[in-house]
Amino acid sequence: MKRRDFLKSVGVAVGSLAMPRLVFCGEPDVIRPVAGAPAPVNGGFSIAVLPDTQNYAWKYPDLFHAQTGWIAENLKKYNIRYVLQLGDVVQNNNDKEWEIARAAFARLDGKVPYAIAVGNHDMGDGGRCDSRESKFSEYFPVSHFKKWETFGGVYDKEPEKSDNSFHLFDAGGQKWLVLSLELFPRHDVLRWANQVVAQHPDHSAILITHAYLAADGTRFDRHQKDSPYNYGFAKDNTDLNDGDMTWRKLVSKHENFEMVLCGHVCTAKRLASKGESGNDVHQVLIDYQIHGRGGDGWLRLSQFPPESSTVCMQDYSPVLEKLNTHPDARFDLEL
């Protein structure tokens, strides 16, 4: 059941791909910090979102641990039900960095489930994205996720790989589906993803994938001047789908999609579009990697108040102990 339909039913008025060191940047100054922490929404629940963590795994592991440690310590305060990581977990797709990532996420094991997207720096030799090969499944194997009751499964043609997965959980009086897809998903991965969403029409769906929105807040397409198609395995490759293709072939086709969350581009943007059924889908970009110490630990807390169709998004750094008051980092969405 859609969140808005659920609320009506209970009588509530609903008022890169990049070369190893290259990133696409939008507005660089998207931080207006003030001291403090997010105020918890009483009776609601939260989803914590970790944008590109690559620089923490590469150079600043203490910031990675600060993020996941803060989440673990504040699960009850904010009723955090899931943690979503948006890709580029590491910088160079090597064992050292994946070990750091695994150790940071281990702070959440047994406490709160999480879903992780695979980004361009998570793939290929040295994170160059010259192929889809990644060490992700070595350090976060399918068996690891199967320990959770919320784990739904992985791409049916690659049962031993964690790169594409879905997760199911209940929160706020409704059912949720999190779909995690590889960077620029292949055609058959979208076939599988459509089946997963169609099989769960009573779940509100959230897609996480690494590169979806461009720096200007539009969906990536191969005709853009700064299109990631110009390098890596994507060059001259026809078996992949950019942001606009993923929207047309997957997201827009299902009325239970609520949100798309992505990273890759070092800015904060959002876009609202109507699906084929007239439903509003919020597509949200968040990435702080160009800021101090590879991101200064900024994460996003998405709070869902009880008996409301609103989700309140607020960016917070447990490292700086500050809130970001920029309008692209502190806003409400109507679902």
Considering Cα of 215, then 123, then 291, then 268, what sign does the dihedral take? positive
CATH homologous superfamily for the domain 3-12+30-334: Metallo-dependent phosphatases (3.60.21.10)
Q: Look at residue 248 in the predicted model and tell me its pLDDT.
A: 98
Mean model confidence pLDDT for the chain: 91
Q: Look at residue 224 in the predicted model and tell me its pLDDT.
A: 67
Q: Look at residue 114 in the predicted model and tell me its pLDDT.
A: 98
For residues 102 and 53, what is the distance between their CA atoms, to the nearest angstrom? 12
What's the one-letter identity of residue 166? F
Q: Look at residue 10 in the predicted model and tell me its pLDDT.
A: 38
pTM of the model: 0.93
Q: Look at residue 299 in the predicted model and tell me its pLDDT.
A: 98
- Write the CA distances from 169 to 94, 176, 265, 276, 317, integer angstroms: 32, 5, 29, 25, 26
Q: Look at residue 22 in the predicted model and tell me its pLDDT.
A: 42
Q: Look at residue 13 in the predicted model and tell me its pLDDT.
A: 34
* pLDDT per position as a tens digit, 59-75: 999 999 999 999 999 99
Task: Kindly report the three-state secondary structure assignment for every residue of 294-326.
Answer: HHCCCEEEEEECCCCCEEEEEEEECCCCEEECC
* pLDDT per position as a tens digit, 204-225: 999 999 999 998 999 998 766 6
Return the axis-axis angle of helices 95-105 and 61-73, rounded to nearest 10°: 20
- The closest alpha carbon to 170, from 13, 333, 304, belongs to 304
Q: Look at residue 236 in the predicted model and tell me its pLDDT.
A: 74
SS3 state of residue 70: helix
The gap between the terminal CA atoms of the chain, to the nearest Å, is 12
Q: Look at residue 21 in the predicted model and tell me its pLDDT.
A: 38
Percent of the chain with pLDDT over 70: 89
Residue 283 buriedness (CB in 10 A; 0-12 / 13-18 / 19+): buried
Is residue 287 over pLDDT 80?
Answer: yes
Percent of the chain with pLDDT over 90: 84
* pLDDT per position as a tens digit, 14-45: 333 333 334 456 666 799 999 999 999 999 99
Taking phi first (over 0 means left), then psi (-120 to 50 degrees means alpha), and beta for anything else, what does residue 319 get?
alpha
